[in-house]
Structure 1
Amino acid sequence: MKSVTSKNSKRKAGILNGFLDGIEKVGNKLPHPITLFVIFSLAIIVISEIAHRAGLSVEFQMIDRATLESKMTTIKAVSLMNAEGIRFMFSTAVNNFTSFAPLGTVLVAMIGVGVAEGTGLISALLRKLVISTPKRLITAVVVFAGIMSNIASDAGYVVLVPLGAIVFLSFGRHPLAGLAAAFAGVSGGFSANLLIGTVDPLLGGISTEAAKIWNPQYMVDPTANWYFMVVSTVIITAIGTWVTEKIIEPRLGEYKGKQNEKVDDLTTEEKKGLRLALISMILFVIIMALLVVPSNGILRNVETGKIIGHSPFMAGLVPIIMLFFLIPGIAYGIGAKTIKNDKDVAKIMSKSLGTMGGYLVLAFVAAQFVKYFSYTNLGTILAVKGAEFLKATGMTGFPLILGFIIVSGFINLFIGSASAKWAIMAPVFVPMLMALGYSPEFTQAAYRIGDSTTNIITPLMPYFAVIVAFAQKYDEDTGIGTLISMMLPYSMAFILAWTILLLIWYVFNLPIGPEAFIHYIQ
């Protein structure tokens, strides 16, 4: 059975496959992200010496944050190849790593998420969601569940994508359409969610590091894009449903394969586990509410009484996320009998963090790159020069943001890791756009649109080959080109709809998160 049913579709898919085959060949020649950061760090060292010898500097007007008076400031390039620079690199290497904002946030959050995933809670919740849904709503629910699953990192790829195919097949629909809908939600809708997940403090931490190049006191909270994410969830769910039912399923036609599967209902132990998890989650939420809701709540800002902003609640959001998953995860494990004692919990935690070795190495080299960029003043100089160039060309306002989204999506075709790309791009674009009057939170939101929408069409995405393998279970002729041609309509529709949504946000100057606004006031 062929996924492409018409000559015209085959011709278009052939052109697309040829184009993407070239991208794949080029992409496969790129070094590992860790190696890339090493190369970039070495490049910063050399460039800083060249810039220093050339006497590169910028003079610009800024407001003194102590006196609120406007004054001219001169910034010069600082070399890393002189004696002082070499001492800096050696003496700060460990501190650069341990103080790297994304490091602790991800590791702490993964403790809780790892337990919820390891005990089977996340898998059971996803299965419960799809098997309890009416047929007419199943497409929307599969896409929505995919979007929501990204709060648990990679769980959606290994659980929901194959489950989407099974669910559609059990309803007599084409399994590849279900697989595509789930994949579109999990990966294409990666930056939409109703909840704050592990990626939010991660990107917020990188944005904070980048913003400090321009404003050393600036902080980007994990909730920076929350309002925009919530509305995006509704939009992406609707668009994903429409593309599946109006484009993908008609194109695939009737399924005539041999597979005949159904979703198994939850076992008695799993149902008991879910009940205990729900009870424990409710109790946890009540306790947190008691600490936050009262006007004298312990986790409110002691001086201002505020919840959002600089408060113990916001500062402790990462461990709160950890406990939100950890407590129900343990409760589920006890009820479902997937854990028997504290040793089992410890093993699951260790296993979860044991998979983070690659991330730790990446964080180490990325931290050095970020600090080198800041120390040499190259980020500030580039931001000022970039702002001057953009102002000279007249390219400001939303056309500038549109270009940034396209650039982010293009780079994502070659570097799949959201944090790896943002660690490279943020030190350049965040301060540059701050100089033009756009907040780091808004820049981060624009980046996330480009980063999410091309995940599903690049063979370099780590799970892409896995998705192809899932699809081959239902159609052995499925290959990379087939999957790309199937996912391309989602990618195009998502980036168009998401950009329009951001434009609406921009035109009406809406807050993109709690105390997070589009414009940066210096």
Structure 2
Amino acid sequence: LAGLAICFAGVSGGFAANILLSTADPLLSGISQEAARILNKDYIVTPVSNWYFMATSSILIVGVGTFIANKITIPFLGDYKGDVPRSQLINLTGEEKRGLLWAAVVTLFLILFLVLGLVPIDGYLRDPASPDVLHSAALKGVVAIIFLFGALPGLAYGFASKTFKGQNDVMNAMQDAMVTMAPYLVLVFFASQFITLFNHSNMGLILAVKGSEMLKASGLGSIPLMLGFILLTVVLDLVIGSASAKWVLMAPIFVPMFMLLGISPELTQASYRVADSVVNIISPLMSYFPLILSFAIKYEPRAKVGTVIALMLPYSIGFLISWSIMLLIWMGMDLPLGPGAALKYLAP
């Protein structure tokens, strides 16, 4: 159970903390951009807008998670007395090793392709009109890059290990993968309709203006506002598990509202991601929570929902406090959240 709790905390509790970009980055930044355009039609929120902060956060999450595991989880659970046998590691076959080798080779070629295209001032992935990495083709097409880094090494492994024997095998694998994407596609369809209707109704603009006037009158600074926003997100996360679904509801209101107070959409998004991540591990509405519970029952038949929540609560509280403090320090030092992503918004 200790290993289960530690892994769950690292994967879901630190969901937003990644050294590399994840699929959540373009998804949330796209929603943030549409919300920001309620006020500024030309505003761009890039998928790397929180990269610096989230990459640094991964170090924090590892440190805090390790401390909680050693000081709380492992001593609390003690030695395992169950009768589930230790799982045996199975050695890789020669074909699997060959597949991994070719996947690594393809990955290295992709990295080399990016380096040669971005590092030279006249690199082929830079915009000749503005040879700045922030305006490069690579940054604008980061979704395609994530796709290539997943697809090409996967194809290399599949054919080298003989898992794929032809194009039909590839198509069947893609079809099986798309089945898991069905809920996301349904969500995106209704999310796009909601944002469009919200924009046409001007409700976002009205709420942003009225809300910003109230917050200005209160005299609260950016730090208390972000703390309040984090706490609100934590409460909502207990009843709405999906990060994207929740952001679709919150972004059209809070992003333009905070923009009128001089807070950038990137900072609002970073605050949201902090709050959303830390509650995942204690919310039964989280999509993987039933899976974690089923694994817990395997080793402890008496395990219930409350058992998992009790195990994960120290991580949730520890991550929330430490991550919020880190965000406040980041704001105090006025550090960029990502390439070209400032903390403050200046109206054009």
Same fold by TM-score greater than 0.5? yes
Partner of 1:182: 7
Shift of 1:293: 2.2
Shift of 1:516: 0.5
Q: What is the DSSP-based 3-state SS (H/G/I as helix, E as strand, rest coil) of the residue aligned with 1:457?
A: coil
In structure 2, what is the Cα distance between the partners aligned to 1:258 and 1:266? 27
> Residues 223-372 of structure 1 correspond to what in structure 2 (within 5 A)?
223-262=48-87, 263-308=89-134, 310-372=135-197
Q: Which amino acid aligns with 1:481?
A: G
Shift of 1:477: 0.7
Q: Which amino acid aligns with 1:284?
A: L
Shift of 1:368: 1.4
Q: What is the DSSP-based 3-state SS (H/G/I as helix, E as strand, rest coil) of the residue aligned with 2:331?
A: helix
The one of 472, 481, 487 equivalent to 2:312 is 487
- Bigger-Rg structure (1/2): 1
In structure 2, what is the Cα distance between the partners aligned to 1:415 and 1:280? 39
Q: Which amino acid aligns with 2:335?
A: L
Shift of 1:359: 2.1
Q: Number of matched residues?
A: 346
Partner of 1:416: 241
In structure 2, what is the Cα distance between the partners aligned to 1:266 and 1:510? 45
Q: What is the DSSP-based 3-state SS (H/G/I as helix, E as strand, rest coil) of the residue aligned with 1:517?
A: coil
The one of 394, 398, 403 equivalent to 2:223 is 398
Q: What is the DSSP-based 3-state SS (H/G/I as helix, E as strand, rest coil) of the residue aligned with 2:338?
A: coil
Partner of 1:452: 277
Q: Residues 265, 405 of structure 1: CA spacing in aligned structure 2 closer, same or farther, 3 A cutoff? A: farther
The one of 272, 290, 293 equivalent to 1:468 is 293
Partner of 2:265: 440
Shift of 1:325: 1.1
Taking structure 2 as the reference length, the TM-score comes to: 0.97
Shift of 1:294: 2.1
Moved more, 330-339 or 224-233: 330-339
In structure 2, what is the Cα distance between the partners aligned to 1:452 and 1:233? 12
Shift of 1:491: 0.2
Shift of 1:267: 3.0
In structure 2, what is the Cα distance between the partners aligned to 1:346 and 1:444? 36
Q: Which amino acid aligns with 1:280?
A: V
Q: Which amino acid aligns with 1:304?
A: S
Asked whether 1:477 is paired with 2:302, we answer yes
Q: Which amino acid aligns with 1:516?
A: A
Indicate if the aligned counterparts of 2:222 and 2:263 stay in contact, CA closer than 8 A.
no
Q: Residues 265, 399 of structure 1: CA spacing in aligned structure 2 closer, same or farther, 3 A cutoff? A: farther
Shift of 1:295: 1.6
Shift of 1:365: 1.6
- Report % sequence identity: 51
In structure 2, what is the Cα distance between the partners aligned to 1:388 and 1:442? 20
Shift of 1:376: 1.5
Q: Which amino acid aligns with 2:103?
A: A
Looking at both structures, which has the greater relative contact order when contacts are Cα pairs under 8 Å and sequence separation is at least 6? 2
Per-residue CA distance 1:461-517 (angstroms, 9 max, x = gap): 121111110011111011100100000000000000100100110000001101111
In the alignment, structure 1 segments of 5+ residues that lack a partner are 1-175
In structure 1, what is the Cα distance between the partners aligned to 2:336 and 2:75? 39
In structure 2, what is the Cα distance between the partners aligned to 1:359 and 1:327? 23
CA RMSD in angstroms comes to 1.2
Q: Which amino acid aligns with 2:59?
A: V
In the alignment, structure 2 segments of 5+ residues that lack a partner are none
Q: Which amino acid aligns with 2:317?
A: M
In structure 2, what is the Cα distance between the partners aligned to 1:375 and 1:273? 51
Asked whether 1:407 is paired with 2:232, we answer yes
> Residues 96-245 of structure 1 correspond to what in structure 2 (within 5 A)?
176-245=1-70
The one of 306, 322, 338 equivalent to 1:513 is 338
Shift of 1:393: 1.4
In structure 2, what is the Cα distance between the partners aligned to 1:306 and 1:371? 32
Q: What is the DSSP-based 3-state SS (H/G/I as helix, E as strand, rest coil) of the residue aligned with 2:281?
A: helix
In structure 2, what is the Cα distance between the partners aligned to 1:232 and 1:521? 26
Per-residue CA distance 1:390-436 (angstroms, 9 max, x = gap): 11112222011001001111111111111000011000010001011
Q: Which amino acid aligns with 2:333?
A: F
Per-residue CA distance 1:431-458 (angstroms, 9 max, x = gap): 0010110111110000001100000001
In structure 1, what is the Cα distance between the partners aligned to 2:276 and 2:331? 19
